[in-house]
Amino acid sequence: MAQRERPLSPHLQVYRWQITMTMSILHRATGCALAVGALGLAWWLLAIAAGGDHYANFAACLASPLGKFVLFGFTASLVYHLFNGIRHLLWDAGLGFDIPAVYKSGYTVVALTVIVTAAIWFFALRGGA
């Protein structure tokens, strides 16, 4: 492609930070992470189908510090993507479009993500993981 100096439209760096821009890119990032997590779910199911020895190996991977760290990342991503996805669906229905509502729902999603992720891990660890 020929390199020519052309005026560029304003890009990210000229804008003041707003929660909306971070939430938007996080929705994509968590979505991509969860696509990998989907393969992890398939792996889990295949390990159970394959029998006790395979499942024991899989469970050992998950129980390791790295396994727990990755699983925690998937949990947080899933909870965030779920709540922010509901926010997107409400927008699709034409609800909550004015700027104060967009900010309010954004902070609500962040708060819910922290609380629900913590609750899931509290119950999972109490269950003996």
Partner 1 sequence: MSGSPVRDFRTPLARARGLGSAKSGVGHFWWQRVTAIVLALLTPWLVWLLVSLAGADWAAAHAAIAKPWNAILLSIFVVALFWHAKLGVQVVIEDYVHTRALEVASQLLVTLACVGGAFASLYAIGRIALMA
Residues that bind partner 1 (CB under 8 A): 28, 31-32, 34-35, 38-39, 41-42, 45-46, 48-49, 51-52, 55-56, 59, 78, 82, 85-86, 88-89, 92, 120, 123-125, 127-129
Q: In angstroms, what is the minimal distance from the CB of 14 to partner 1?
A: 20
- Residue 129 to residue 115: CA distance in whole angstroms: 20
Burial of 54 (0-12, 13-18, 19+ CB in 10 A): middle
Nearer Cβ to partner 1 (89/101)? 89
Nearer Cβ to partner 1 (21/125)? 125
Q: In angstroms, what is the minimal distance from the CB of 10 to partner 1?
A: 18
- Residue 95 to residue 102: CA distance in whole angstroms: 10
Q: Are 30 and 81 in contact (CB under 8 A)?
A: yes
57 sits in which H/E element: helix 52-63
- Residue 40 to residue 84: CA distance in whole angstroms: 22
Nearer Cβ to partner 1 (32/114)? 32
Nearer Cβ to partner 1 (85/103)? 85
